[in-house]
Amino acid sequence: MKELLVCLLFSGLYISAASQTTTWRAKRIAPAQSQNESNSWINFRKDTDLETVPQTAVAKIATDSKYWLWVNGDMVVYEGSLKRGPNRQDTYYDEVEIAPYLQQGKNTIAVLTWYFGKDGFSHNSSGQAGLVFECDAIGLVSDDTWLGKLNKAFETTVNENPNYRLPESNIRFNAQVDNFDWVMPDVSFKGFSRVNVLGEAESAPWNKLWLRPIPQWKNFGIRLYENHDIIPAGGTGEWIECRLPYNCHAHPVLDIEAPAGLVIRMQTDNFDYMGLDVASVRAEYITSEGRQQYESPGWMNGHVMKYLIPEGVKIHSLAYRETGYDCEFTGYFNSDDPFFNKLWQMAARTLYVTMPDTYIDCPDRERAQWWGDVVNESGEAFYALSPSSAAITKKGMLELINWQRDDGTLYSPVPEGNWNRELPGQMLASIGYYGFWNYYINTGDKETIEKVYDGVKRYLDVWKLTHDGILQHREGGWYWGDWGVEIDKQLLFNAWYYLALKGYLNMSELLEREGEAKRTRQEMKAFKEAFNKMFWDGNGYRTSAYEGKYDDRAQALAVVGGLADKEKYKPLLDIFKTSYLASPYMEKYVLEALFMMGEAESGLKRMKDRYYRMVEESPYTTLYENFGPPKGEEYNGPAGFGTNNHAWSGGGLTILSQYVCGLEPLQAAWKSFKVKPRPGNLLFV
């Protein structure tokens, strides 16, 4: 007899709602020699005396773009600040508790800032480097009594620089020029001078400062590599490959003895595995004389950290620091089939590596908040991660609406500085049933729904209907439906629109907007009738201009959205058994459709067929961007699969949790929920 075991671990979700109202006394400061050049690093220092140490001392800190904070020589914040911005004009600031690091008498505050100085798919450069620091509890504000200097030890690499999507530059540190002694109290330091006041804390070009809505990054500390016992004792002039335990955000560390002037190169296996036009970030270190330790402050990601160390360098140790979003892996999945167990674990690891400042698509090529990816990521997080992970979805929702254009259109990725094209399908997905509404049903955060509601309506109003009751043809800025071939785009957009209406109806009912709710119900009823009249041909859905196979993606959205009634399931099932057009982004919805149709065994079979190469033949702990060719067919290595850690590929995690284990909320914040397992041919889950 088949045994079914279902285990539910649940804890309530907590969403903070900090006020954005604050009065600033601090000034925005920068050294006189600061020229606002890209990849600029600046040292700031301030000594202050305290008669008593307060029980709490919250420092408010803002910069463009990143900072590291020491108090009395102790590291307090490792890579603080968020990429700009909460909207097109403004900047984020952090709140940091520094009381545990203070002492009676003299105290030394040291801040290293990194000014990206260029735009990217995830950052809107202000055009001005600097620092704002305010701690009322100790009476300390940034002003012209602070000391600062441009840190010229940080240099820019000559070649193989990151592609244009990334605002970060490669990090090159010349230890012949400077070191980090300046962060310590009671040491002699040179080159500092009184800083200039650039303006009020909240003045152009940083403008209003918004409180950071997500936690500071988790610092896992410095760790040894998996193969640390076979790392050579000296440089050979060839790459030394150091294995990480899994794909993660890693900062390379070295402890060496060397003559001055030698160049050490550090990068991961993900730096350039797709070609020079999409190079990620790397690091260089120029040695000083003697024994020295160095840690590159910017994160990279991959499965292997590689060091190119010249001959003549003695290696005492090579190590790394891991950082990541401050949450825990609290969910899990286990069954009698190791394939699905491994798929779930790889999806969870993929998810975690794609959530630094924002949810991102990939941690190497772009680091950008594409909302097609975010919808899949946010759904997975409620099953895999602890409640603090919900804050990054909330941040993304508010950013998306705060960047809305005057004409009502939305686009992603945002924040951004060099991208402005709307992907209509992704935007409809973001505001709809699987996007904004799924966030609410898992968190109960009504306040955020209230904040985004008007923006959702404005975007829906961008879309117009024909006299036949379906969407007018509209391509947006990028007429994109999915990766792959044979994409019935207009059919997809119509299905996404209905799901957006479904989410909007739920939001209208939640907020008691009775007029909008009534109107939307009527529109959904009429739209469903028109959709089936215009697109159903007896064997499946298609638009008249589309000539390819039946698009499995569009059929899936029709099922999960409720456009397809049960009498259409049989021919749709035939399509799902023969059409394999969906990328991993859209495959989640195809699998969901199968489970909603009561076809659990078919859903599990398709999941294994589609993900087989990613799971069983991949050398990685994370999931590729694309499926690549089917099992048994030739392919051209990892490049054929796109990036090897891509956010949108983890939808199987949600399916295994929500449908196979059968755990799903019925009321907001899981006040009530159902347990309805669909194990298919699995013996236990």
- Between CA 18 and CA 22, with CA 20 as vertex, the angle to 5 degrees is 115
pLDDT tens per residue across span 509-551: 999 999 999 999 999 999 999 999 999 999 999 999 999 999 9
Beta-sheet pairing, 239-258 with 66-71: unpaired
The predicted pLDDT at position 190 comes to 86
pLDDT tens per residue across span 331-372: 999 999 999 999 999 999 999 999 999 999 999 999 999 999
Cα 646 from Cα 361, distance rounded (Å): 6
Q: Is 215 exposed, middle or buried (0-12, 13-18, 19+ CB in 10 A)?
A: middle
Position 548, amino acid: G
The CA-atom distances, in angstroms, between 186 and each of 47, 57, 415 are 10, 23, 41
CA 318 to chain centre: 28
The predicted pLDDT at position 202 comes to 98
The predicted pLDDT at position 300 comes to 97
Mapping DSSP to helix (H, G, I), strand (E, B) and coil, where does residue 442 land? helix
Task: Please give the residue that has the higher pLDDT: either 275 or 32.
Answer: 32
Residue 72, sorted as left (phi over 0), alpha (psi -120 to 50) or beta, turns out to be left
The predicted pLDDT at position 2 comes to 36
Tokens of 349: 């690891």
The predicted pLDDT at position 632 comes to 65
CA 602 to chain centre: 32
- Residue 394 pLDDT > 50, yes or no? yes
Q: Hey, which bits of 348-448 come out as E strands?
A: none
Q: What is the mean pLDDT of the chain?
A: 94
- Residue 242 pLDDT > 60, yes or no? yes
pLDDT tens per residue across span 613-628: 999 999 999 999 999 7
pTM summary value: 0.94
Count Cβ atoms below 10 Å from residue 226 Cβ, excluding itself: 13
Cα 45 from Cα 195, distance rounded (Å): 10
Residue 439 and residue 448 in contact, taking contact as beta carbons nearer than 8 Å = yes
Count Cβ atoms below 10 Å from residue 238 Cβ, excluding itself: 12
If pLDDT is split at 50, 70 and 90, which confidence band does 9 have?
very low
Nearest one of 532, 533, 577, 584 to 559, comparing CA atoms: 532
The predicted pLDDT at position 12 comes to 33
DSSP string covering 388-401: GGHHHHHHHHHHHH
